[in-house]
C-alpha cells in the first residue's frame, strides 16, 4: 500500500469513527429507552431504529448496502442464520439487513464499552467463551429468543477471518442450535466488509456492501448425530456462493 492511500485510509477511518460516535450519541436515548419494553417488543423496536440508523450511516460513509435473496424468508418463520465473518462492520450490516427481529451472539467484553455497551447488549446475547456457565446460559437465551420469534444470527467461523481463505472452518454451535430447536437454518453471505475495514491497523476504505440470503435448510427430524454432515453441507454452500459472487458487480434488490 502506498503512503498516500494509507494516509487517506487513515483519514477515512477517522471520519467513520467520528460519524459513528456522533450518531450513537444522537440515538442513545431512543435506543436505550427500548429497555423499558419486554422482549420480543424490545428487540423489534431496537432493530427498527437500527435499520433506519444504518440506512443513513452507511451511505454517508460511502458504503451503500444491497440485499439479495429476501424471498428465502417465509412470513411467520423463525430462522437460525449463519454468516461469514470478516470485519467489525459485519454486525452493523447484518443486524440491520435481516428482515424482522434478530439477535446475534457476541463477546461479553463488548458490552462494557461506555455509551455503546448498553446499546450493544440490546442487539446481542453476550457470552464469555472462556466460562462454561456463560456459554450454557447464552445457549439457553438463544433458544428463548427463537421461541419468541427472534431470528438468531451466528458466525460459525467463531472470530473474524484473518486468513487468505474465503471462509474458515466452522464450529458446531449454529448447527446444534438449529437441530435442537428443529428450526430451519438459513445460510447467508456478506461481501466486501473486509474491503471497508480490514483487520489490523487504523485503516478503512469505502466500498458497497452486499448481503445474500440463501435458501434455508430444514432440520426437522435431524439429531445431533447429523451435526457434522449439516455443518459440511452449509460450509460448502456458503463457500461456493462466496467464490462465485465475490468479484461480481454489486446487484440490488
Query: Is 252 within a domain?
Result: no
Query: Is 82 within a domain?
Result: yes
C-alpha–C-alpha distance, residues 67 and 252, integer Å: 6
154: number of Cβ within 10 Å: 23
What strands, in cross-sheet order, belong to the sheet with 124-127? 65-68, 209-213, 185-191, 80-83, 151-154, 102-107, 124-127
Task: Kindly give the confidence (pLDDT) of every residue in the chain, 253 residues in length, as a single tens digit, with 9 standing for 90 and above.
Answer: 688 988 999 999 999 999 999 998 899 899 889 989 999 999 999 999 999 999 999 999 999 999 999 999 999 999 999 999 999 899 899 999 999 999 999 888 777 777 677 778 888 999 998 899 999 999 999 999 999 999 999 999 998 999 989 999 999 999 999 999 999 999 999 999 999 988 777 899 999 999 999 999 999 999 999 999 999 999 999 999 999 998 754 443 3
46 and 104 Cβ atoms separated by less than 8 Å: no
Q: What is the CATH number of the domain that holds 106?
A: 3.40.1130.10
12: number of Cβ within 10 Å: 18
Q: What sign does the dihedral 82-242-75-225 (CA atoms) show?
A: negative
Query: Is 216 within a domain?
Result: yes
Q: Does pTM surpass 0.85?
A: yes
Range of the domain at 197: 3-245
Query: Is 220 within a domain?
Result: yes
Amino acid at each position: 500500500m502506498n503512503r498516500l492511500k494509507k494516509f487517506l485510509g487513515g483519514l477515512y477511518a477517522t471520519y467513520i469513527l467520528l460519524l459513528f460516535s456522533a450518531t450513537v450519541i444522537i440515538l442513545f436515548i431512543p435506543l436505550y429507552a427500548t429497555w423499558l419494553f419486554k422482549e420480543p417488543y424490545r428487540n423489534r423496536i431496537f432493530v427498527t431504529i437500527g435499520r433506519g440508523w444504518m440506512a443513513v450511516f452507511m451511505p454517508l460513509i460511502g458504503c451503500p448496502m444491497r440485499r439479495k435473496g429476501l424471498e428465502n424468508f417465509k412470513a411467520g418463520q423463525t430462522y437460525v442464520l449463519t454468516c461469514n465473518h470478516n470485519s467489525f462492520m459485519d454486525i452493523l450490516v447484518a443486524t440491520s439487513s435481516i428482515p424482522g427481529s434478530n439477535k446475534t451472539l457476541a463477546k461479553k467484553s463488548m458490552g462494557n464499552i461506555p455509551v455503546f455497551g448498553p446499546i450493544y447488549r440490546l442487539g446481542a446475547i453476550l457470552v464469555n467463551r472462556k466460562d462454561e456457565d456463560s456459554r450454557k446460559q447464552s445457549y439457553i437465551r438463544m433458544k428463548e429468543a427463537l421461541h419468541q420469534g427472534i431470528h438468531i444470527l451466528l458466525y460459525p467461523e467463531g472470530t473474524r477471518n484473518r486468513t487468505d481463505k474465503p471462509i474458515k472452518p466452522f464450529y458446531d454451535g449454529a448447527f446444534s442450535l438449529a437441530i435442537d430447536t428443529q428450526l430451519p437454518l438459513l445460510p447467508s453471505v456478506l461481501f466486501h466488509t473486509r474491503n471497508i475495514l480490514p483487520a489490523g491497523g487504523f485503516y478503512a476504505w469505502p466500498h458497497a456492501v452486499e448481503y445474500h440470503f440463501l435458501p434455508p435448510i430444514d432440520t426437522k427430524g435431524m439429531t445431533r448425530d447429523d451435526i457434522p454432515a449439516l455443518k459440511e453441507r452449509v460450509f460448502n454452500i456458503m463457500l461456493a456462493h462466496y467464490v462465485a459472487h465475490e468479484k461480481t458487480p454489486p446487484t440490488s434488490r
